Structure 1
Amino acid sequence: MPNRITGLQSGLDTESLITSMVSRYQQKVDKLTEMQKKHTWKQNVWKEINKQVLSFYNDTLGKMKYTGAYRIKKTFVSNANAASVVTGENAMNGVHKMKITSIASNSYMTGGGITDASGTSFAAKKDTKLSDLGFSGIQNLKIRIGGAPEEEILLDEEDTLEMVASKLRGVKTADGRSVSANFDGNNGRFYIASDKTGASSDFTLSSNNMQFLDSLGISPAKRTKYDAGEDASIILDGVTYTSSQNTFEINDLVITTNEVTSGEITLNTQSDTTGMYNNIKELFKKYNEVVNKLDQMYAAEDGSKYKMLTEDDKKAMSENEVKEWEDKIKDSMLRRDITLQLTLSELTGIMMQRIKVQTKEGEKELHLSQFGINTMDSRLVKKNEWHAYHIDGDEEEDIVKTNENLLKKMIASDPDATAEFFRNLSINLADGLYKLMGSTDYSSSYTLYEDKLMASQYSSYSSKIYEATKLLNAKQDNYYKKFARMEKAMAQLNSTQNQLAGYFNTK
């Protein structure tokens, strides 16, 4: 870029003149930049819509197209303090009798008081060293947890009692078992417990030097107490079951035991019709959110009168005014968009189809209206909710809450047919969206819009802006060079005139 000399000799406003002369080139740069910004806004609008549609496809339909969303069961326990039950979809309905005879526990040792090597009581603290107890050189501890091979710990005379506990905690058997260990400096003793429950959690401690083990208060002879681990045990419908943990997985029931019972308690397994109803209700809630958004964008107010704001425009407006103006542009970007139209057409078409299911009366073709699920007259609903479905009798919707709840009635009278209908409806919706979101030359997989094409268009704008800016700079430089030459010529002319004037003034 050449030196830009202002009109010192000519008296002209060179900057303003050149700005005016290259204005059409600047306008082209500004226009392209504006178009790219608007294009970015459109990309962002599409990304948000695609995110919502993909969430509906993956999360909602991904759940509702499987039988597990409908075969919901629940087990009621007569003594909720004694046990809790998680019920699987294949659990059998019925009443079970259960008695809890034992609770799983881990092995736990309370050590005896610390003594020195001679057997004399010693007021030990966490930082007491083995050498303080009269032991020198290397000592060893051996620990066996359950049926795993024995593990050896080597201890130096400089090790403290806290370090002994730390090394015990560091032992891990091949099958993943370990112990928690702590030396309590206030009470001067070790506390050691297995990390898992059950009879197989028992641990034993030994040493080549039993005097050392006695001194630490953890030998069978010196420890205060040792409680062996115990398995949990229940009698369910006359059959005894044991577990190393307080959970039992039996016939798709996961039973967690909390306390021993003096007698039998009952487990009553039933189909959870409320759970099925809530899942179907959630399906329509998410569907409505999607179609309402698509309708809102497709039927948006014409925003063509809202032009992109320049920096000067923004300076004359408040921050809220700028946001409202730009939101008008963004909200109208997909007005009458063909992709939105195709998506709405696909979804609404599927929802109006009849679906063949096996009912108690035989095979029938059912429609959503037979479950009391319908769209409403456009005069009765909010704008952009014309394709939304409403469940008759739903207490959360004033417009239909006084109607008979046919969905609940159908679930109660024929849960299998109801499940088959809505599972197939979900499959049809998922298949329809999958078809719309398939990969093409212009769009990626699981993408509703032409994201590849839009990315290419963005790059094209960048290239055009670069070329237009390059041309603008070249034109500016060219004009500055011309004005610089003119200024130089005028400076020379003025110098000559001054010399001549000086010459004649001396005559």
Structure 2
Amino acid sequence: MPIRISGLTSGLDTESIVGALVSAYSFKKEKYEKAQTKLSWKQDAWKDLNSKVYSFYTSVSNLRYSSSYVTKKASVSNSNKAKVSAGGEAINGTQTLKVNSLAKTAYITGGKLASNISSDSTLAALGIKTGTDEKATIQVKTNSGGTTKIDIESSMTVNQFISKLNEAGVQANYDSKNHRIFVSGKQSGEAGEFSLQADNALGLDALSKLGLLTDSELNSIGTTSTEGADLIKKQYGAGVATASGFAEWIKYAKTYKDIINSDTATDEEKEQAENNLNLEPAARDVAKYLDDKGVDWSTLTDEQITAYGKEIYDKGEINSDSLAATRSGLVVSINAVRDAYVKLEKANAMPNETAAEQTARAAAIAEAQAEVDTALEDPTSAKWAEYIQNTFGSKNSDTDESYSKFWSQSDNLALADSVMYRIDLAQKIESGAMDLTKVNTGTKVDGTDAEIVLNGVTYTSSTNSITVNGLTVEALGETAEDEVLSVTVSNDTDALYDKIKDFLSQYNSLMNEMQKLYNADSAKDYEPLTDDEKNEMSESEIEKWEQKIKDSLLRRDTSLSSIISTMTMSMMKTYEINGKTWSLSGTLGIHTLGSLNAEKNEGYAYHIDGDSEDSKTSGKQDKLREALADDPDAVIDFLKQLTSGLYNDLDAKMKSTSVKSVYTVYNDKEMASEYSNYSKLIKTWADRVTDMEDAYYKKFAQMESALAKLQNNSSSITSMLGG
């Protein structure tokens, strides 16, 4: 817009004059602006109402099906032991329930540390020392995240150590007030179970000084002592020796000793028996052991054989030579098993998209699995593999019971060192060379699943909530061994009553709002304000003025009248159920109050006779509850037909046409086109105002120029005349 400087010579208020001259054009522009603003408000009003109509429409859609009305309730004979709820698919009747155990989260309460230890204290302050050649190593083993090794250094702070634990798949924190480290599983039940184990002597010392060497770990070390001894006392090619294994060799030896000592056996038979006995070194050695004790083979009982088997086993020695030999054999076994699992993991990772890739992968997996099976056919390798998996390993996942990932990700020599350290530690404890009973131990609670027995079948869960065939049991306490709870499931008529009431409440809310909009007071003399008009009013006055217009936008609207009529007519329909005519008012005592008895704009709202929460109808006969108690299926059948009819009628109103979009009950397309037309008209008249203003300002500028020139000429003549 050009800069306009006028009235300098004439002294006229040019802007006011030009404004008056173009006022007719400005009035036209403002008229269309106000109409567009009003239309915009109307669009917003319809969008808000339409969203409510659509929400009701989707709710009604669900009520067309039986599943929406299937409501069940459940009760249990002892609510202190269990809380039970029933879904629609739960079976009516009485069921039996026992709560065997509750779900627990794995948890370690660390031993109390010195009062001067803070989260910023270094581990050296706890007396933990690590050297440059040997690290203090522990491992965190979780059921869900595998096994993670942690190297502990004396320069590490307590907070840094806590962070390492958290990274390893558990939840840990240091309570500086109580001076204890707390560690828990990330989820309840067996899935969240974990353990903290030492990998070497320094790691054991660190766990102890951190207060994290738990009673469970000490028991595990004790178990390692027995299992390790079983493995190391492998003798004579007889597999893994046990006390019962030696007893079997004694029985074997007795067969031949009875022949050798027999008075009736021939010399040839005795010689053959001696040869057979010498063929088996284990049998020969146990026979010599008993002979040295002067045992009478002929009177040897099974009880004595068992006792002597344990005696021989207990006398087995584990010395440095046997440990060295054991480690050598252990490494061989680990190598064989791990190499086979590495090959299996590589086969599983092969491409699997095309048919050729699938064939090649399947062949590779089969070949690798065969190598795994072959490696585990060796009794020693199989026994070591089982021990290592139980002590250090983690399954692939909750659904994959294999340990293939654990084996393929392990280091052979480090795994052998960990096994030998643990066995050596167990032997030291067993022999009394090391006493861990007086160290600062922590207390471990194992993560366990909840277990219930429902109708004779056992179910488990990582949480205390277990759902079976629509019945949800929340275990609260364990039942006694001879205690059986009764669970009763039945139809919930109260819930069905409330569902019907909720449906009517939604209908009433929508219908009352539409009635209010349709019967709104007229705002005939009110139009949207211009900026100049707003400048002359306060904020509250502007708000009231505009609200008056907005409240009346859908007054006597034909589209609104149509949707109101559709819904009211649908709700008044009758349907035949089991040969009888059903209706809301006649059969179920659900009716409107009419315009004379109802509150303003609530004449079409439905009320339930006998509803204790409705002051208008609470004193009347409750036909709905009677019908639900007498024949709930018939009530449901009627409601399905009623809501299906209402849904179909609404659906017909919400179909797309040339003037409205789908799922709308007003002419949104038509309004959008009208809004666009207003924009064009406003621009047209704005351009006309600008053009007329420019023309008038140009004429006034010419006048000013002529006046200025005349003034200059007049001044010159006056000057010449000597004025």
Shorter-chain TM-score: which interval? 0.7 to 0.9
1:490 is aligned to 707
Q: Does 1:366 align with 2:359?
A: no
Partners of 1:39 and 1:411 in 2: how far apart? Answer: 49
> What are the within-5 Å matches in structure 2 for residues 287-302 of structure 1?
287-302=507-522
> What are the within-5 Å matches in structure 2 for residues 23-102 of structure 1?
23-58=23-58, 60-102=59-101
**C-alpha distance 501-150 of structure 1, shift in aligned 2 (>3 A):** closer
> What are the within-5 Å matches in structure 2 for residues 216-295 of structure 1?
216-217=207-208, 218-219=212-213, 220-221=217-218, 223-262=441-480, 263-295=483-515
1:472 is aligned to 689
> What are the within-5 Å matches in structure 2 for residues 306-385 of structure 1?
306-310=526-530, 319-357=539-577, 362-369=578-585, 370-385=587-602
1:190-231 deviations in Å (ceiling 9; x for gaps): 432223333454323334323322322234345343333333
| TM-fit CA distance, 1:276 | 0.8
Partner SS state of residue 106, structure 2 = strand
> What are the within-5 Å matches in structure 2 for residues 404-483 of structure 1?
404-483=621-700
1:118 is aligned to none
**C-alpha distance 182-493 of structure 1, shift in aligned 2 (>3 A):** closer
Extract unaligned runs of 5+ from structure 2.
219-435
| TM-fit CA distance, 1:98 | 2.8
Partners of 2:75 and 2:686 in 1: how far apart? Answer: 74
Q: Does 1:192 align with 2:183?
A: yes
CA contact (8 A) 1:125 1:186 kept: no
Partners of 2:550 and 2:112 in 1: how far apart? Answer: 77
Partners of 1:329 and 1:416 in 2: how far apart? Answer: 49
The amino acid across from 1:439 in the alignment is: S
Q: Does 1:209 align with 2:200?
A: yes
CA contact (8 A) 2:136 2:206 kept: no
For residue 153 of structure 1, the aligned residue among 123, 147, 150 is 150
2:338 is aligned to none
**C-alpha distance 195-322 of structure 1, shift in aligned 2 (>3 A):** closer
CA contact (8 A) 2:189 2:448 kept: yes
Partners of 1:36 and 1:332 in 2: how far apart? Answer: 16
- Computing the radius of gyration from Cα coordinates, the structure with the larger value is 2
Partners of 1:322 and 1:147 in 2: how far apart? Answer: 64
For residue 303 of structure 1, the aligned residue among 502, 517, 523 is 523
More helix by share: 2
1:103 is aligned to 102
**C-alpha distance 475-211 of structure 1, shift in aligned 2 (>3 A):** same
1:245-289 deviations in Å (ceiling 9; x for gaps): 212222311101111233333323222111111111111111112
**C-alpha distance 194-452 of structure 1, shift in aligned 2 (>3 A):** same
| TM-fit CA distance, 1:74 | 1.4
The amino acid across from 1:101 in the alignment is: N
**C-alpha distance 113-26 of structure 1, shift in aligned 2 (>3 A):** closer
CA contact (8 A) 1:2 1:481 kept: no
* TM-score between the two structures when normalised by the length of structure 2: 0.62
Partners of 1:185 and 1:5 in 2: how far apart? Answer: 79
Partners of 2:722 and 2:712 in 1: how far apart? Answer: 15
Partners of 1:309 and 1:122 in 2: how far apart? Answer: 74
The amino acid across from 2:182 in the alignment is: Y
| TM-fit CA distance, 1:41 | 1.4
Partners of 1:427 and 1:70 in 2: how far apart? Answer: 14
> What are the within-5 Å matches in structure 2 for residues 131-146 of structure 1?
133-137=128-132, 138-146=135-143
| TM-fit CA distance, 1:46 | 0.9
| TM-fit CA distance, 1:486 | 0.8
1:165-212 deviations in Å (ceiling 9; x for gaps): 22122224xxxxxx2223445565543222333345432333432332
Partners of 1:485 and 1:313 in 2: how far apart? Answer: 34
1:99-140 deviations in Å (ceiling 9; x for gaps): 3232221333344577xxxxxx99754334345521135543
CA contact (8 A) 1:143 1:204 kept: yes
The amino acid across from 1:212 in the alignment is: G
| TM-fit CA distance, 1:482 | 0.8
Q: Does 1:396 align with 2:613?
A: yes
1:366-405 deviations in Å (ceiling 9; x for gaps): 2112111122332112232232222112223333222211
| TM-fit CA distance, 1:479 | 0.8
**C-alpha distance 13-425 of structure 1, shift in aligned 2 (>3 A):** same
1:176 is aligned to none
CA contact (8 A) 2:198 2:207 kept: no
**C-alpha distance 473-136 of structure 1, shift in aligned 2 (>3 A):** farther
The amino acid across from 1:280 in the alignment is: I
Partner SS state of residue 95, structure 1 = strand
Percent identity reads 37
* TM-score between the two structures when normalised by the length of structure 1: 0.87
Partners of 2:3 and 2:458 in 1: how far apart? Answer: 98
**C-alpha distance 492-146 of structure 1, shift in aligned 2 (>3 A):** closer
| TM-fit CA distance, 1:406 | 0.8
1:405-431 deviations in Å (ceiling 9; x for gaps): 111111111111112222332233233
Mean CA deviation greater in 372-381 or 450-459 = 450-459
CA contact (8 A) 1:2 1:480 kept: no
The amino acid across from 2:571 in the alignment is: M
CA contact (8 A) 1:109 1:191 kept: yes
Partners of 1:496 and 1:140 in 2: how far apart? Answer: 109
Partners of 1:295 and 1:341 in 2: how far apart? Answer: 9
| TM-fit CA distance, 1:321 | 4.8
Partners of 1:229 and 1:296 in 2: how far apart? Answer: 60
Partners of 2:117 and 2:538 in 1: how far apart? Answer: 74
1:322-351 deviations in Å (ceiling 9; x for gaps): 444433332332233221122122212211
The amino acid across from 2:445 in the alignment is: D
Partners of 1:417 and 1:32 in 2: how far apart? Answer: 58
CA contact (8 A) 2:137 2:202 kept: no
The amino acid across from 1:171 in the alignment is: A
Partners of 1:345 and 1:107 in 2: how far apart? Answer: 63
Mean CA deviation greater in 152-161 or 448-457 = 152-161
Query: Aligned pair count?
Result: 489
**C-alpha distance 65-210 of structure 1, shift in aligned 2 (>3 A):** farther
Partner SS state of residue 336, structure 1 = coil
Q: Does 1:500 align with 2:717?
A: yes
| TM-fit CA distance, 1:447 | 2.3
| TM-fit CA distance, 1:27 | 0.8
Extract unaligned runs of 5+ from structure 1.
115-120, 173-178
> What are the within-5 Å matches in structure 2 for residues 147-186 of structure 1?
149-172=146-169, 179-185=170-176
**C-alpha distance 87-413 of structure 1, shift in aligned 2 (>3 A):** same
Mean CA deviation greater in 410-419 or 265-274 = 265-274
1:175 is aligned to none
**C-alpha distance 204-47 of structure 1, shift in aligned 2 (>3 A):** same
More strand by share: 1
Partners of 2:471 and 2:526 in 1: how far apart? Answer: 62
**C-alpha distance 129-136 of structure 1, shift in aligned 2 (>3 A):** farther
**C-alpha distance 13-113 of structure 1, shift in aligned 2 (>3 A):** closer
**C-alpha distance 165-350 of structure 1, shift in aligned 2 (>3 A):** same
Mean CA deviation greater in 210-219 or 47-56 = 210-219
